[in-house]
Amino acid sequence: MSSSIFPRTIEQVMSDYQEELENWVMSAPIEDIRDFFITIHGGVYPDDWEDFVSRHQSNSSLELETISSCKACRPLLLAIQTTDLYRKELKSFFIKNGSKKFSKHS
């Protein structure tokens, strides 16, 4: 980044954050990504996963694209959607134990 007399814009900061998040999602264990998802929504316990996922489902489809994001998880969902081309297991990230009930998020 070139030096400037002005602070970085929100867009510049968020672009760097998004890149960092995508790199992390690319290599992080699935369980860590789930824990992060729970944490950014204010959850503490692993059981919070199902509640947060169900709040983000826009329908019962198993497609990742059907998850609606909130302000808290929009960057994470975008990172998951971007990296799911390389990590196929992310396509079913929001499916709890293969169950259709907990299919999607964001």
Number of structural domains the chain divides into:
1
**pLDDT for the residue numbered 55:** 77
Hey, which bits of the chain come out as E strands? none
pLDDT tens sequence across 43-66: 888 888 888 887 777 665 555 556
**pLDDT for the residue numbered 2:** 62
**For residue 11, with 0-12 CB atoms within 10 Å meaning exposed, 13-18 middle and 19 or more buried, which class applies?**
exposed
Q: Please, are residues 19 and 76 in contact by the beta-carbon 8 Å criterion?
A: no
Residue 33, in any domain of the structure = yes
Residue 74, in any domain of the structure = yes
**pLDDT for the residue numbered 98:** 44
64 secondary structure, DSSP code: G
Q: Please, are residues 25 and 79 in contact by the beta-carbon 8 Å criterion?
A: yes
Residue 96, in any domain of the structure = yes
For residue 57, what are the domain limits?
A: 10-102
pLDDT tens sequence across 1-58: 567 799 999 999 999 999 999 999 999 999 999 999 989 988 888 888 888 887 777 6
Residue 1, in any domain of the structure = no
